[in-house]
Structure 1
Amino acid sequence: MKALYYEKLEDDCVKCQLCPRECILKPDQRGYCRARENRDGELYSTIYAQISAIALDPIEKKPLYHFYPGSEILSVGTVGCNLSCMFCQNWHIAHDKAPTRKVTGKELVELALRYNSIGIAYTYSEPLIWYEYILETSKLAREAGLKNVLVTNGFINEEPLKELLQYIDGINLDVKAFHRKFYKEICGGGDLEVIKKTAVLTVENCHLEVTTLLVPGLNDDPEEIEKLSKWLASLSPDIPFHLSRYFPQYKMDLPPTDVESMLEAKKVAEKYLNYVYLGNLTNADRNTYCYQCHYPVVKRSWQVDVDLKDGHCPRCGVNIPIIL
């Protein structure tokens, strides 16, 4: 399918304008993400309707804890990414040659309805490079009464993001670190200021939760966690913040994140944010507590139990911003 957001240049070259890399491509060249190709002076999506992974997941797995807790969502991914993080957890579909199969947007919506999913989550690899397919499918899903969720690195230009956000209900934004050097040296590029702008636009348009994978010695310093948490709180202290444990993967062989450093990071973040969770950690407390009286308003074990009274804590009455 012909891509959106590109500019034609001389000599049949094109300039992709989807993400801030803005790759300039000669005929037959593909962009950094491997998902967009110059064909005779026009830009095309090479992954339109191509799915590499599909599953019916708990919404908490995205992770989204304040967005229809206890529900299930049809989750799909494609191949490629516009970053190249050394610790990539899904490198086999983001950077390798994973097999795909064609599933139209209409078929995807029908699957979601058939399995009583609350909607569709575009996840696993980087969904924003799947832009044309997601834009079309999210419109169909919205018409069918389904929710649309993105799990994304947020590295996208403002204009295409604004267009897409009209049809998105929830986002988990992966903030890799809170300093530029990490993006440049560990993620192969990216721009923290772009990610911050994505967060601002998301808060203004739909539900936002944030995840940071804590990599030992690289982005887990308490001072950095404090700066990130303080900045998120300036958007809203109610943004759920997920601190996830790193394990060796792809091109990085550092030892797993120390549990004590994760607990310390959570303690630091909770100075500014009302809801901080630890992920990828055995026996972590996944419950949601009222930030005022600490009553467990959502209990998560083998099932999810929600105890709210008209969106408020049943014990102290404070508003708990959870979408039900």
Structure 2
Amino acid sequence: MSDPAPPPPVGPRIASLCSGYGGLDLAVTSLLGGTPVWFAETDPDARNVLAARWPDTPLFGDITAIDWTAVPAADVITSGHPCQPFATQGQQKGADDDRDVWPCVLDAINTLRPQLAVFENVPGWRNNPDGLPRTLRDLAAIGYDTAWCTHSASDVGAPHRRARVFAAARPSETPPDPPGLPERDARPQTHPQPGDRRDGRTRRPPWLEHRRRTLRGVGEPPRTGTVPDSPPPGCEKPFDWQEYGPAVQRWTDCRMVAPPCPIAPVGVDGREEVAPAFLEWMMAVPVGWVSSVPMDYRSAYRLLGNGVCPPAGAAALHHLLGQLDAPAQADTMDN
């Protein structure tokens, strides 16, 4: 007798593009449940983190070379595609930048037809014509409604601002006619189309309705905690937070986790830098998520500095799902 098949995952199947250390995926799973079914990432250090944290999950590489008809189906697609084409610190070349992979992300969505797509990028993405405006236009063309917002890590109590633009897209109640981009109908559609339709409406998946209604923690008042007077873990003596003390205390209150030592000797000369473990604490990712994976200091600093603060991402997605629900709720009230 063969072994019984494993039970299906609880919640949505999540496919992650340009995953980084998985911060956006941690945000989505904290809100909706579910589990990643595959990742696509090229950065070697980020791939090592993903392989360490989700060792049984397939890890693909360059999304410009993936055949989307050959990958596992997904209910949710997340994408933190490169910010360099839109960042105000760069040249903001948009679609003329070789690192712009939005057409590949759009192709993945158009082929896999997820019930939800979630995006994150820098504030420069919002106003660049090839950034959010193009995203909204292209998603509408393939039958998705999109809501977006700017949300900062400090909005959930973090001791750093980290403003980011988040967007969420869901299949439209009434798809475009004719649907999709000009090339869509020529490609094989091997994955289910989004949702069953009854009376012209798209049925929302149970995991979306249930999880969103039972969300806890986002938007709740901070809990009580204290920054200890004893030395933080890894420090030989109490650390003087100076003017940053109130911000550190606020984040400690929110997370009920005291900060580790904020500095650590790095490099052959023993100079002190911000400790990766402290950056993890600031970003609200599990202790050791990045810092316990072998890599040099600069790589850990870069990954954590470019990543998503999961509580901020969850709060933004919670807001966006409400925005996407608003037209349907208003229509129900009118009827």
TM-score computed with the length of structure 1 as normaliser: 0.34
Comparing both chains, which one has the higher relative contact order based on Cα–Cα distances under 8 Å and sequence gaps of 6 or more? 2
TM-score computed with the length of structure 2 as normaliser: 0.33
When Rg is computed on C-alpha atoms for both structures, the one with the higher figure is: 2
Query: Greater strand share, 1 or 2?
Result: 1
